[in-house]
Amino acid sequence: MIKKLQQTLEVNRDKYIEWLKDLISINTEVIGHGIKGGREGKGQEYIENLLKSLGATTERDQLDEERILQGVSCYQEGNLGHDYTDRFNVYGSFQGIEDGKALLFNGHIDTMPPGDLKKWDTNPWEPKIKGGLLYGLGAADMKAGLMASIAAYDLIKATGIRLKGKVLINSVVDEEGGGNGTLTSMLYGNQADGAVVCEPTGNKIIIAHMGFIFFEIKTTGLAVHSGSKWKGVSAIEKMIKIINGLNELEDNWKTQYYNPLLPPPNLNVGEIYGGTAGSTVANACSIKICLHYLPEVMTHDHVVGEVIKKIDAIADQDQWLKEHRPTWEIYQAGGAFQIAKDHPFVKTAFKTFQEVGETLLAGSPAGNDARLIHNIGKIPTIIAGPGNQEQCHAVNEYVSVDMYINYILKYAKLMLDFCGYKNF
C-alpha cells in the first residue's frame, strides 16, 4: 500500500506544491495579536473551496465574544476583546465508505505580520522555491501542515484506496492571538477519536507542551527630584524587590517539579517600564512576565496562587508596599498539555510515521492548540507537521519541499491506519 501511495504522490507532487504556494500567496496575517482583527477571510474562502472541490461537506463558524467568555469562565482559556470581523473557522468533513473512527487535523491559517519587509529577500506573499526550500510567510507556521492534511486525503482518493471512518479538517483563525479559533471549534462541539495538530515539528511527534501565563505587575512610588531622593520612593526599586522574589520562586520550582520531556518551569521578565527622567525618582513601574509550567504536576490555579502569594509576602515586608499594594493582572494564558506515550493513538501514529521515516517522541516548551483539543475536547492529540520551530515568526520563513511532501504521505498513511480502509 505505501508503495502505491508513494507512486501516486510523485505523480501529484507538483499539484500539491502549487496548492501550498497558492495559500501562502494570500495574506492571512493577524493584526495586533488578533485584538485589532485579522485578514484570514480570503484564505479561509480558498480552503473552503478546495475542500468542497475534493468532496467535503463544509461549515463556517464565525468567532464571537460569547464563546470566548465561556472558555475563560469554564476552562481559563481564551483571549477577550478581539475584533472578529470576517474571521471564521472552516470545518471540512470527508466521510468514508463505512462508519469508523474519526481523525481530526487542526491547522491555523493565520500568520504573524512579516515585520520589516526590507529584511526579506523575497516578497513574503510571493512564494519562491530555492535550493529545495519554499520561502514565504506562513510556509512553516503553519500553512504547510494545514495543506498537507488536505492533500493527504486527495492522495488517498487518487490512489484508489477506499477510506473507512471519517477525516475532519479544522482550518482555524486567531491562533496567533492565543488560540481563540481552536477554542471556538471545541466549544462548537467538534469531536473525533484522535487529532493531529499540524504545527511544524520536523521528524518529531510532540506529546507534551508547557502551559503559559502572562502577567503585568505594577508598583507606584513618590516622585521627587533625584537630588532629594530620600524624600521620595522609587517604584523601580520596589519592583526590583518583586523581581528578585519571583526569581526565587522560579528557583524553587526548578527543584520541585520535573518532566522528562520538557525543560524546567521558568519565569521571564520580558518587559519593564518605569520613571520619566534620570533626574526624577520614579513614581510608577510596570513589568510584563511570561511563565511556563509543566503539565500534570503543576496547574494554572496553583501557579497563579504562588505568584500572588510571593508578591503579597514581599509587600507585607516593605513599609511602603504594605500601604501601596502592587497590582497585577493576567492578560493571556494557555494550559499545559500531555498525552501518555503508550496511549493507543500515540502508538499508532508513531508506528505509522516510522514506516515513512525516522520519528521521535518529544516535548516542546512552546504551547499550541493541542491543549485545547486534548483538555477541552477530550480528544487524544499529537502535534506533528512539516517545518521546524526555528522558522516560526522568522524573516525569510521557509519549509523544506521534501518535508512537506513527506508529511502528505505520513498523514495519508495515518488516515488509513487509524480510520481503516478497503483496497481498490
Does 229 share its domain with 94?
no
The parts of the chain modelled with pLDDT lower than 50 are none
Q: How many residues does the chain have?
A: 424
Determine contact, residues 367/333, Cβ cutoff 8 Å. no
Mean pLDDT of the chain: 96
pTM above 0.75, yes or no: yes
* β-bridge partners, 293: 211
Does 274 share its domain with 375?
no
DSSP-derived secondary structure letter, 236: H
Q: Which cell numbers hold the place of 147? A: 495543506
pLDDT at 406: 98
Domain boundary residue, one of 334, 367, 396: 334
Rounded (5°) CA angle 78-82-397: 85
pLDDT at 204: 97
Q: Which cell numbers hold the place of 255? A: 527543584
Regarding beta strands 88-95 and 211-220, do their DSSP bridges make them parallel or antiparallel, or are they unpaired? unpaired
Domain limits at 348? 2-209+337-422
Does 161 share its domain with 20?
yes
CATH of the domain at 153: 3.40.630.10
Cβ neighbours of residue 120 under 8 Å, at least 6 residues apart?
114, 395, 396
CA-to-CA separations, 192 to 100, 210, 301, 351, in angstroms, rounded: 10, 24, 29, 20
Does 242 share its domain with 127?
no
pLDDT at 389: 85
Does 359 share its domain with 311?
no
CA proximity to 262, closest of 310, 300, 212? 212
pLDDT at 2: 87
pLDDT at 320: 98
Does 177 share its domain with 84?
yes
**Cα-trace Rg, the chain:** 24
Q: What is the largest CA-CA distance in the chain?
A: 88
Does 168 share its domain with 260?
no
Does 157 share its domain with 298?
no
Reported in sequence order, the residue ranges of 113-252 that DSSP labels E, i.e. its strands, are 128-130, 133-135, 162-163, 166-172, 194-197, 204-209, 211-220
Helix (H) or strand (E) holding 102: strand 102-108
pLDDT at 424: 59
Residue 284 CA, chain-centre distance (Å), reads 34
CATH of the domain at 266: 3.30.70.360
Rounded-to-integer distance, Cα 304 and Cα 328, Å: 11
Rounded-to-integer distance, Cα 146 and Cα 30, Å: 17
Reported in sequence order, the residue ranges of 232-359 that DSSP labels E, i.e. its strands, are 266-274, 284-293, 327-334, 337-338
pLDDT at 278: 96
Residue 171 CA, chain-centre distance (Å), reads 13
Does 244 share its domain with 286?
yes
Rounded (5°) CA angle 101-359-418: 10
Determine contact, residues 54/157, Cβ cutoff 8 Å. yes
Does 220 share its domain with 75?
no
Does 29 share its domain with 80?
yes
CA proximity to 404, closest of 92, 129, 27, 163? 129
Cβ neighbours of residue 150 under 8 Å, at least 6 residues apart?
19, 47, 50, 51, 54, 92, 169
Does 45 share its domain with 122?
yes
Determine contact, residues 415/103, Cβ cutoff 8 Å. yes
Determine contact, residues 235/221, Cβ cutoff 8 Å. yes
Which position has the grid cell 492571538? Answer: 177
pLDDT at 419: 97
Q: How many domains does the structure of the chain reveal?
A: 2
- pLDDT tens-digit series, residues 315-349: 999 999 999 999 999 988 899 999 999 999 999 99
The torsion angle over the Cα atoms of residues 340, 76, 168 and 65, rounded to 10 degrees, is -170
